[in-house]
Amino acid sequence: MNVRAIFALVCLLIFSPGSVGAQGFAGLGSETEGFALPEPNPEFIFPADHGAHPDFRIEWWYVTANLEGPDGEPYGIQWTLFRTAVRPDEAESWSSPQVWFAHAAATTRTGHYVTERYARGGIGQAGVTAAPFSAWIDEWEMSGESVASVRLTAGSSQFAYDLSLEAQGPIVFQGEGGYSVKSDEGQASYYYSQPHYSVAGTLTLPEEGEIAVTGSAWLDREWSSQPLSERQTGWDWFSLHFDSGEKMMGYLMRQTDALPYAVSTWIDREGVATLLPVGALSAEPVEHTSVAGRKVPTTWRLQLPERELDIEVAALNPFAWNDTTFAYWEGPVFADGSHAGRGYLEMTGYE
């Protein structure tokens, strides 16, 4: 572990405060002081809001894509750029309090390749500009004229991808018009998505070599300054593209003293999003997989009575463990039952 791991702990705090407290890494729990806080009824200004919001503590540009090769073989990729500010003030060059890090992964039925990057703010090694849109860290980037049309690249010593993403529908605001509540204590973030990307490009894998791929991608944009509630230990997050053209985003914030805080958004064929009431979505683990010394649910039963949804969601590769500085499960899934489709599942806080 080096000092970088300290930054991982800062990030962990945002992901899962309980575990950080347990490691005795004190002093950050209440430090929203000086940072801006999300307010209800936000008004987003585009393209500016696609850029960075350095006065907030944490922010991410999160792309997941379900892909298939010429032979119909399914693949998945992840591209995530995180920004975290260690202090609320901004400064130049090495003095900038902004620290960037990023995760990229590629998943096949039997393989899962993941890598991470770190960068200092203030020197140009990583950053995001709104117009023309560009989000980058090292040589990885997500860039284009606008967010609606971007080239997405990342790679490691093992894998690489170079994809072009074209938005086929409008941006979707999560929560109440982009104000997404994470607990009944009021922790919240700004959160919107672009779930309508069609994808074409190449994926390079260590065994398979270079593969031409097509598919669909989903971008999540989220920023906030507040850690999770003390009572929350992690989350299970689903983004699903159904064959019907409908889409769904749902997450469960697992809590130590209550049932999970379940939030879901339904997106119809036209891209109109509806926030469903808290608790409307129910999700029950069906099968667990032992991965990285932990038991992680990799098959789920999801029910959303209001949309007559009753599906089983299963991982393409149950071993899609992101063994990054802070580790979590993230991989492509397939849905079957009342609605067939595919999507991504992210699970954090499994110790």
* Interacting residue ranges for other proteins, rule: CB under 8 A: 1-7, 9-10, 24-28, 86-87, 91, 93-97, 99, 115, 118-120, 123-125, 136, 138-139, 155-160, 204
To the nearest whole angstrom, how small is the minimum distance from the Cβ of residue 51 to other proteins? 18
Comparing CB distances to other proteins, the nearer of 124 and 277 is 124
Could you tell me the two tokens for 230?
């003390």
CB 332 within 8 A of CB 308: no
DSSP states along 48-100 = GGGS--TTSSEEEEEEEEEEE-TT--EEEEEEEEEEEESSSS--SGGG--EEE
Comparing CB distances to other proteins, the nearer of 159 and 238 is 159
Comparing CB distances to other proteins, the nearer of 84 and 224 is 84
To the nearest whole angstrom, how small is the minimum distance from the Cβ of residue 91 to other proteins? 6
CB 164 within 8 A of CB 145: no
Could you tell me the two tokens for 44?
């987003």
Q: Is 186 helix (H, G, I), strand (E, B) or coil?
A: coil
DSSP states along 292-307 = TTEEEEEEEEEEEGGG
To the nearest whole angstrom, how small is the minimum distance from the Cβ of residue 132 to other proteins? 16
Query: Which of left, alpha, beta for 304 (phi over 0: left; psi -120 to 50: alpha)?
Result: beta
To the nearest whole angstrom, how small is the minimum distance from the Cβ of residue 263 to other proteins? 30
**Ranges of H-type helices in the chain:** 3-15, 17-22
To the nearest whole angstrom, how small is the minimum distance from the Cβ of residue 147 to other proteins? 21
Distance between CA atoms of residues 117 and 50, nearest Å: 21
Comparing CB distances to other proteins, the nearer of 156 and 214 is 156
To the nearest whole angstrom, how small is the minimum distance from the Cβ of residue 98 to other proteins? 10
Comparing CB distances to other proteins, the nearer of 104 and 315 is 104
CB 92 within 8 A of CB 122: yes
To the nearest whole angstrom, how small is the minimum distance from the Cβ of residue 329 to other proteins? 22
Comparing CB distances to other proteins, the nearer of 22 and 286 is 22
Distance between CA atoms of residues 273 and 284, nearest Å: 24
CA dihedral in degrees (267, 140, 157, 16; nearest 10)? -60
Comparing CB distances to other proteins, the nearer of 160 and 248 is 160
